Chains A and B, each alone.
Chain A
Amino acid sequence: MFGKSVLKRIDWFTILLYVLLAGIGWINIYSSTYSENTSSIFDFSQLYGKQLFFIGVSFVAIVVILALETSFFERFSSVLYVIGLISLLGLFVFGKTVAGATSWYNLGFFNLQPSEFVKIVTALALAKYLSDIQTDINRRKDQLYAFLIVLIPTILIVPQPDPGSALVFLALLFVLFREGVPLFYLVIAFLMVLIFVTTLMFGTIWVGIALGLIIILFFLLKKTSFKVPILPVASFFVIAIVFSLSVNFVFNSVFEQRHRDRFGLWLRLEKDPKKLEEIRKTIGYNTHQSEKAIESGGFFGKGFLEGTRTKGGFVPEQHSDYIFTTVGEEWGFVGTVTIIILFTLLLLRLVHIAERQKSAFNRMYGYGVISILLIHYFINIGMVIGILPTIGIPLPFFSYGGSSMLGFSILLFIFLKLDTNRLNEWH
């Protein structure tokens, strides 16, 4: 079917990590959705049975990907991208609404979530555009185009509403920085987040004072033999203050109450411990329950199928977005750290593979893959263990969900397929 060279050159270490994650993930899905009345793991009326089916489907997809020409992905990326955008547009007409979000197509036997696949084609399209011989990443215009490639699907996804997925697309911008867009943008973005958070916590006045002090200290410590660039620094300061002032407006008038609650909980804005506890148990119910479930696992966990909170269904969406709580409760600290290590190894390995690519397209696509996986992993586990606000996105290869399982598998294996061909390409 495909040449021996593919099997020989493919990165088996990555495959091993993939298989481990998908396997452990399925075991935990089984535990989360298991009830004592059913016996067969192939029972497709049960969620774990369905997930097994999708793992099978993913395997078929992987075989197909590995069998395709390597150049297929680069050549057809624009076409695929357009198809992806159309599929997102189609949702406005044919979309099926589940839990308030119109993100699915009803295909009868299962619901397809196109955004999971649009991630792949967007990563492909971005890589294709940036690796084009005529693109100069240092040109503002080209930067803008690259930005638009990411922004268009994001804009189409936001109104579904699916802010989590939208965030994932923005993560693709990280590819730009690897390819030479100045880190300045990243610093600005980081500063904006910082000002946003600190303004919510301490108010504009304190942020202004702190910022002023930092600037003064910065120049004092530099022992300025050169002239202080007063105008840029002053305008930066003014912009920061204006942004800080706008934070309160955005927070109070643009955000909905549930968003305010999530942020309020995350940043512990409520100072009265009694009220905070109350908020934790009502608005923060999900996070409260997931933290409790993980906590109750202790060091060694309660054992497979022994998680009382898992069995009692205390954690909402435990088989999908909150699957990590099952690991925490049943396998304890040992289990959770194992998963962290597996993800870390996988991501580092992918960075390693990306860096060894001779082809710019391959490398940029690789970075796209890493960005997508990393943002999922970071936000999902961060949310479940209570250090990030609640944003519902799945844990790659782990959470229940046909579209995401298939989507992440395709995303990863396109990259592995590209990697097998690295020696033949001389761009």
Chain B
Amino acid sequence: MSQTVTAAANGLASCHLCLKLAPKELHHCPCCGEALHVRKADSLQRTFALLVTASVLYIPANLLPIMITEQFGQPMESTILGGVVLLIKLGSVPIAAIIFIASVMVPLGKMLALYYLCWTLNRGTPGNERQRTIAYRMTELIGKWSMVDVFVVSILVALIHLTGLLVIMPGGAAMAFAGVVIVTIIAAESFDPRIMWDQREAQHE
């Protein structure tokens, strides 16, 4: 692995949109016209700022009700965690597990993984780049899957609408949670895993 040739060392940059290799002096991709960077611009700062935003949004997403069930005119609010607890009480443990994984573990794990990557990158200590790159690819891959809960709410709201008998309404947490998902997707997108490999190369020289 010591004999690797990188595009950056040869004055070339890869276009993030069409994957074209072009001289970095061009500033715009000659193939598709996108802005050209050797590495994503201000990757670390942007990722970190978006992560903080997502963390702040995560608070109302868990405290506010995600769904309001109105049975015979009596409203009952339920939060994300409350819904999981209710499902376990009702005996549908597998579905409780899916909801718990998709709406609690995935967003939390994603934010923690990105915090960890930002932290190690900022300290500049090389080591297990391959594992860290795989961790990054995972956060990138699972990103959109936490939208499941928002979709479940929108389906239930549309489907269960028997006025006076049983009505389900969306709660404020749905919006906040959608915000968390979208902001973390953008945060993962602004992160550039190649910076880890740059640091390793710098250490070897």
A and B together in one complex = no
